[in-house]
Structure 1
Amino acid sequence: MQLVAYASEEPPFFRSDEMGSAVHAASLERPVKLMIALEMIGYYDSAPGSQDYPYPAMSWLYPDRGDFIAVVGRMQDINAVRQVKATLLSSRYLSVYSMNAPGFIPGIDFSDHLNYWQHDIPAVMITDTAFYRNKQYHLPGDTADRLNYQKMAQVVDGVINLLYNSK
């Protein structure tokens, strides 16, 4: 098991060979069972209409309130997404939704897990959906006082539980 923190995830490095996760994924010499990307896990908003989606029709399947965590993966990673989702749901404190989708869905590959997919390594992203929820994302109002540290800790506890119980 490796815990890896990446530098250079944001532009101008995003989607480049200099992106920290691209360097790490390319350097791996042993098989990887699963990469889990924690991408924006701290912003929650229970107001109606606070959650947006890349396609309006997605609001028929997913909540209109930004008070959940999402587990996202490729179609071929469906079992990993299900396992991560089930473990996070076992905490009983988190509302968890999931999606397995092709890479052309906007946002599906907007983090470090993308670089593992490019090396055919199973990977999932755990996310609060970033700019689809947080209207101050990457703006001056994107401040630490707007984050829900209790929910972030619950997500991390869920990931620790997943790792502890993995074979």
Structure 2
Amino acid sequence: MRARSLFIAVALPASASIAGTCYVVQPMAGGRAMSPAPAVSAERLEAHVRALSEEFVPRDYTHPQNLNRAAAYIRDELERAGGRVSVQDFDVRGTTYRNVVASFGPEEGERIVVGAHYDAAGPYPAADDNASGVAGLLELARLLSAAPPGTRVDLVAFPLEEPPFFRTGHMGSAVHARSLRAQGVKVRLMMSLEMIGYFTDAEGSQQFPLAVLKAFYPSRGNFITVIGKLGQASAVRRVKRAMRKASPLPVHSINAPRWVPGVDFSDHASYWDEGYAAVMITDTAFYRNPHYHTARDTADTLDYARMAMVVQGIHAAVLRLA
């Protein structure tokens, strides 16, 4: 996740309508009638994060051996969960990298894609960015295996989200998205899991790039966020509504133009480039997590109980979309 704005509001003129503000912020009135959600193991989430952030380090693009070890670990876990696993190899600057894909549900037809990048920015543990997203992906695999969805769901782990390949065609997600478009695959929605493990109840712990955001979002970093671009508010609303019903964890969202810095700062943008609908699910990165892109981004700093709630919400969203 790039070190720019992740959690963005669109600065609207004073004459902007309430309807416009609602479109951006997606408020949801009324109580939260909880739906039964399957249990997610906080202990397994922590074990996955520790494996990625402690055993396979460093796992930036200059250490392909560790990236390959991480990919093998992910593949083994997805196979153990019961997925139909395949590996998509691709070469960048003379080095082979790989996307790991696990499919659940029907083999044919329209599909839902959920992805997370497993590389790191530099020689850091990168527990939140993005071992947390990959851990969520692996636990989601267990839930989908236990009750296969009616629509095909592909879980994809990507390398090369971080610099110097960020926003280039060399990103693992860009390779995957292009391959789907080339095959004529219809994607109902792509969800990018980008940092889902850091939460805090401290007052003032949630930071913002614009002061106006304080009027619309909490000051405590105790929530998860769904981010989408203009024109795809319906997808954001469906994901947000499903996640809110799956657990007590607060869920907020925003829709903004893609040119606003931060709106496209993860793998979901690769699918936008191919014309697919996509959203990002995130804890807002450095606007909350002071350990972002440092050696302090370790497994001990994450909240696995609330991270488990995020996975419950993502699972509920997948089922709603399917």
TM-score > 0.5 by shorter chain: yes
CA distance in 1, matches of 2:244, 2:220: 18
Higher strand share: 2
Partner of 1:87: 242
Stretches of structure 1 that go unaligned for 5 or more consecutive residues are none
Offset, 1:6: 0.6
Matched to 1:85, the amino acid is K
Query: Would you say the 8 A contact 1:78–1:100 is kept in 2?
Result: yes
* In structure 2, C-alpha distance between the alignment counterparts of 1:106 and 1:52, rounded to whole Å: 15
Q: Distance in 2 between matches of 1:41 and 1:52?
A: 16
Match of 2:159 in 1: 7
Shift of 1:83: 0.6
Matched residue, 1:101: 256
SS of the residue corresponding to residue 231 of structure 2 reads helix
Distance 1:105 1:56 in 2: 16
3-state SS of paired residue (2:173): helix
Q: Distance in 1 between matches of 2:279 and 2:240?
A: 10
Gaps of 5+ in 2: 1-152
Residue 144 of structure 1 is matched in structure 2 by 299
Q: For 1:100 and 1:55, how far apart are their aligned partners in 2?
A: 15
72, 75, 78: which one aligns with 2:227 = 72
2:204 match: secondary structure: coil
Report SS of the residue matched to 1:70: strand
1:57 alignment partner in structure 2: 212
SS in 2 for 1:155: helix
Match of 1:21 among 165, 173, 181: 173
Matched, 1:114 2:269: yes
- 1:126: how far off? 0.6
Structure 1 runs, 4 residues or longer, greater than 2 Å off: 164-167
Are the equivalent residues in 2 in contact too, given 1:37–1:125 (CA < 8 A)? yes
1:12 positional shift:
1.0
Deviations 1:83-140 (A, max 9, x none): 1100110023210101010122222111000111111110000100001110110111
Q: Is 2:222–2:250's contact at 8 Å kept on the other side of the alignment? A: yes
Q: Is the 8 A contact 2:230 2:257 kept in 1?
A: yes
3-state secondary structure, aligned to 1:4: strand
Q: Distance in 1 between matches of 2:260 and 2:303?
A: 27
Following the alignment from structure 1 to structure 2, what is the Cα–Cα distance between the partners of residues 58 and 138?
Answer: 24
User: 1:119-138 maps to which residues of 2 (within 5 A)?
Assistant: 119-138=274-293
State the one-letter code of the partner of 1:4: V
Shift of 1:164: 2.5
Q: Distance in 1 between matches of 2:306 and 2:283?
A: 10
TM-score, normalised on structure 2? Answer: 0.50
Partner AA of 1:139 in structure 2: T
State the secondary structure of the residue aligned to 1:38: strand
CA contact (8 A) 2:189 2:277 kept: yes
Q: Secondary structure at the match of 2:209?
A: coil
Of 149-158 and 115-124, more deviation after overlay is shown by: 149-158
> How large is the RMSD of aligned CA atoms in angstroms?
1.1
Superimposed CA distance per residue, residues 17-69 of structure 1 (whole angstroms, 9 cap, x where no aligned partner): 11110111111021111000111000011111111122221111111111100
TM-score by length of 1: 0.95
